[in-house]
Amino acid sequence: MVAGLGGNAVKTLSDELLHRRRMSQRSFRSTAAGVWVSRKSEAESIKGQILGLLFDFGLAALGGIGITQMLSKTGRDHYCLKGLVTGVAIGSGVTSLLSVLTSDRVKPKDAASNLSYMLSHALYGMTTAALAAKLGHPSLFDAPPLNNCLLPTELTSTEAVPAASNTKRA
């Protein structure tokens, strides 16, 4: 969850920069707020922005859990590429979901806005994967053996750190 929230901070910053440069019709927060409100002015109000931000960070936390789980199963190698692909996939899913759930007045219909959302989600995925890979506990990434005949290629966390119960006290 923490990795997802950290990744979303980068995504929100990039989304805001792209919106201020007029590369996007509206911020992702405004589009997310459109799930609950029907007017554009309501989505762009302070309350609408907070609502959209909460929706966005909630989905980002869930995405962070998914990215961490994926890295746990596939390993930390190439985490940047894995995060990029997963971030774009999550972004495509969320953007598709928002296009179905939001009012026509709130959702952007131009390609530039949707491309800026995808770029922001790619940054989200890479940042989330980097945070999970670098800050995650080693036990998250224990490599199970491929089969019973082969030993793991990496030490598991229990092999790398001797158990506390095996230490003798004086």
Q: In which region does residue 107 sit, left (phi positive, over 0), alpha (psi from -120 to 50) or beta (all else)?
A: beta
Number of structural domains, the chain?
Answer: 1
Give residue 60's domain range: 2-141
Q: Is residue 153 part of a domain?
A: no
- Which pLDDT score, from 0 to 100, does residue 54 have? 92
Virtual torsion, Cα 79, 114, 49, 104, nearest 10 deg: -140
CA dist 49 and 46 (Å) reads 5
- Which pLDDT score, from 0 to 100, does residue 168 have? 52
Q: Is residue 10 part of a domain?
A: yes
pTM: 0.77
- Which pLDDT score, from 0 to 100, does residue 1 have? 82
Outline where 21-161 has alpha helix (H): 28-33, 40-43, 46-74, 79-101, 111-135, 157-160
Q: Is residue 56 part of a domain?
A: yes
Q: Is residue 157 part of a domain?
A: no
- Which pLDDT score, from 0 to 100, does residue 121 have? 93
Q: Is residue 61 part of a domain?
A: yes
Burial of 47 (0-12, 13-18, 19+ CB in 10 A): exposed
Q: Residue-wise pLDDT tens for the chain (170 aa)?
A: 889 999 999 999 999 999 899 888 888 888 888 788 878 888 888 898 898 899 889 999 999 999 999 998 888 889 999 999 999 999 888 888 877 776 666 666 788 888 898 999 999 999 999 999 999 888 888 766 556 666 666 666 666 656 555 555 54
Helices 111-135 and 79-101 pack at an angle, to 10 degrees, of: 140
Q: Is residue 151 part of a domain?
A: no
Q: Is residue 16 part of a domain?
A: yes
Are 79 and 133 in contact, with CB atoms under 8 Å apart?
yes
Q: Is residue 64 part of a domain?
A: yes
